[in-house]
Amino acid sequence: MEFKHLNEALQTYGDRATQLAKLELGTYKPRPVRKTTWNGMNPQSTKVTFRKRRAVASGKLQKSIKYKVNSKTDTPFVEFIFEDYGKFVEEGRKKGKGVPPAALRKWITKDRKLRYFNRKTNQFESMTEGRLKGMMFTINRSIKAFGIEPRPFMKPSERKSMQENFQAITDAFEKDILDNLTDE
């Protein structure tokens, strides 16, 4: 069975969903910021404030969002494709689980290009291996204690795009079925 009209409707749906997801990632929203005093590996006291921040750091995830309509099966569907770490942005990370050190090292050095700030001299200083390990420890300890807040970008975008395009998809499917019945 050929789904010519349905494929076009699904293209429109995919275009809109990816557009909304990219906008959602770039939107400034209140996000929790924690100031914590630690007793070893245990948080002693935590003060949570909210700052308006984007879910995007480098823009790599935003640029990677794509879709493809898979019409090779009996039922066509839309498949969304983005960077692997997008699922952790979408769903967050439960507390109690840390981040693999290799991934954290890559994020600090290449993706975010974080710099070491010395509070005593009030200046940025070069990143040494010891400072990098300390930064990795601090970030990982915080993730283990509090987790990472989910920042859904794909699910709300898919939902909104489906609401906007539902009637067009239904009509296209109906049209394709009628066309296939009249061709036989």
Cα dihedral across residues 130, 132, 133, 137: positive or negative: positive
Q: What is this structure's pTM?
A: 0.78
pLDDT band of 72, cuts 50, 70, 90: confident
**Averaged confidence pLDDT in the chain:** 88
pLDDT tens across 5-48, in order?
889 999 999 999 999 999 998 888 888 888 888 888 888 888 88
User: Structural domain boundaries of the chain?
Assistant: 1-92+150-184, 95-148
On the CB side of 96, CA atoms within 13 Å amount to 1
pLDDT of 78 higher than 90? yes
Q: Which residue has the higher pLDDT, 77 or 110?
A: 77
pLDDT tens across 115-132, in order?
888 888 998 888 889 988
Residue 140: both structure tokens together: 């990982």
